[in-house]
């Protein structure tokens, strides 16, 4: 049986009259990336702050590796590291000073702290920037120094609170690579994100939360299949054949067909219990026999965006204003 890294039951945090976290039950297995997915203001950060001993819960309980986050906060602190939503390093100090300071606070003696800082700067490609104040760093570099600071002592559990928010794609990929290496090394990672793609790429299990409550939980695959179907995307050679293609597909699959903005593209749901591929193949054959030339097609599972929409009755990405 896998060890449980985090367990919460009925966790509650109230700010004024907002129930930021409202009875959250989670069970996070050790040794994997666990994604906590939700729109802005869903309560992700509040939940992480309680688990990292920064906020006292107003109700319910939470344990990290069996230690209560309130009564045994010190035991929890010795096993976790936090990389917050905003850089958790000192902007006025240099990259190197930041790491040495934290290494000292983790108990390394001065020479060992210097060595450890130099090692991490090297591994994170920050050696050249080591002597510069962090406020001169780019977003991607800041995020790297921040994660480096979190693994000075390899933690058993690493909280990454929206680690790629605001990063360019290249820096985002670097962060993903780092997360994969850290997990491969045995650290449990709790990753909060509002990017569905990120959770899908990195997490073995995902909790979807909204308004401080858990609304779905499972592997990315389970979440997708709970929505029930995949879809087929087709690109035609000739836009003029699209009305005919739409009719053929609708008849073959017996589902509505969506006409995309691109005048040669169509998408249709494929419903079925395990034989989606076969149905899709049959539909394509019908297009061919109707004399419609297909340039390209793909069969995909529903995206996590669709999952979120199906679970909350609204898209995940239009929530900014409500936060």
Cα→Cα distances 275→96, 251, 278, 302, Å:
56, 17, 5, 15
What is the SS3 assignment for 129?
coil
Can residue 20 be called a binding residue for other proteins (CB under 8 A)? no
Stretch of residues binding other proteins (CB under 8 A), selected from 11-19, 29-37, 92-100, 197-205: 92-100
Which residue in the set 33, 89, 257, 283 belongs to the binding site for other proteins (CB under 8 A)?
Answer: 89
Place of tokens 């779905």: 216
Handedness of CA 302, 305, 311, 314 (dihedral sign): negative
User: Which of positions 115-134 make contact with other proteins (CB under 8 A)?
Assistant: 116, 119-120, 122-129, 132-133
Which residue in the set 15, 59, 71, 181 belongs to the binding site for other proteins (CB under 8 A)?
Answer: 181
Q: How far is the CB of 19 from other proteins (least distance, A)?
A: 19
DSSP string, 152-203: SS--SEEEEESTTTT--HHHHHHHHHHHHHHHHTT-EEEEEES-HHHHHHH-
What is the SS3 assignment for 132?
coil
- Apex 280 CA angle, 276 and 282, nearest 5: 120
Q: How far is the CB of 160 from other proteins (least distance, A)?
A: 13
Can residue 71 be called a binding residue for other proteins (CB under 8 A)? no
Stretch of residues binding other proteins (CB under 8 A), selected from 147-155, 188-196, 204-212, 227-235: 147-155
Cα→Cα distances 17→13, 14, 21, 30, 139, Å:
10, 7, 12, 34, 35
Number of residues that bind other proteins (CB under 8 A): 66
Residue 291 makes CB contacts below 8 A (sequence gap 6+) with none
Backbone φ and ψ for 9, nearest 5 degrees, come out as -140, 125
Q: How far is the CB of 112 from other proteins (least distance, A)?
A: 7
DSSP 229: -
DSSP 54: S
Neighbours of 111 (CB within 10 A): 8
Can residue 80 be called a binding residue for other proteins (CB under 8 A)? yes
Stretch of residues binding other proteins (CB under 8 A), selected from 36-44, 108-116, 267-275, 293-301: 108-116
Which residue in the set 177, 197, 260, 296 belongs to the binding site for other proteins (CB under 8 A)?
Answer: 177
Can residue 143 be called a binding residue for other proteins (CB under 8 A)? no
Q: What track of x and - describes contact with other proteins for positions 26 through 65 (by CB under 8 A)?
A: -----------------------x--xxx-x---------
Can residue 154 be called a binding residue for other proteins (CB under 8 A)? yes
Positions touching other proteins (CB under 8 A) are 49, 52-54, 56, 74, 77-78, 80-82, 84-93, 97, 101-102, 104-109, 112, 116, 119-120, 122-129, 132-133, 135-138, 140-141, 144, 149, 151, 153-154, 170, 173-174, 177-178, 180-182, 184-185, 187
């Amino acid at each position: 049986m896998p060890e449980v890294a985090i367990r919460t039951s009925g966790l509650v945090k109230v700010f004024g009259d907002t129930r930021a976290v409202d009875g959250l039950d989670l069970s996070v297995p050790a040794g994997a990336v666990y994604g906590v997915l939700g729109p802005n203001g869903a309560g992700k950060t509040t939940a992480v702050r309680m688990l990292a001993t920064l906020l006292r819960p107003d109700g319910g309980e939470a344990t990290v590796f069996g230690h209560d986050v309130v009564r045994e906060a010190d035991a929890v602190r010795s096993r976790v590291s936090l990389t917050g939503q905003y850089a958790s390093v000192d902007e006025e100090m240099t990259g190197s000073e930041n790491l040495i300071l934290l290494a000292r606070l983790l108990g390394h003696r001065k020479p060992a702290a210097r060595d450890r800082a130099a090692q991490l700067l090297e591994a994170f490609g920050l050696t050249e920037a080591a002597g510069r104040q962090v406020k001169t760093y780019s977003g991607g570099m800041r995020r790297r120094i921040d994660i480096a600071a979190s693994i000075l002592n390899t933690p058993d559990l690493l909280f990454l609170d929206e680690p790629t928010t605001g990063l360019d794609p290249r820096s985002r990929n670097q962060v993903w690579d780092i997360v994969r290496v850290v997990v491969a090394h045995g650290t449990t990672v709790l990753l909060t994100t509002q990017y569905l793609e990120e959770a899908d790429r990195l997490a073995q299990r995902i909790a979807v939360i909204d308004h401080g409550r858990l609304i779905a939980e499972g592997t990315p695959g389970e979440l997708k299949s709970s929505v029930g179907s995949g879809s087929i995307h087709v690109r035609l050679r000739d836009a003029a054949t699209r009305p005919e293609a739409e009719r053929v597909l609708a008849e073959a699959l017996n589902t509505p067909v969506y006409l995309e903005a691109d005048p040669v593209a169509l998408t249709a749901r494929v419903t079925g219990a395990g034989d989606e591929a076969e149905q899709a193949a049959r539909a394509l054959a019908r297009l061919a026999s109707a004399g419609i030339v297909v340039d390209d097609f793909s069969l995909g599972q529903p995206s996590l965006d669709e999952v979120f929409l199906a679970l909350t009755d609204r898209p995940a990405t239009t929530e900014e204003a409500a936060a």
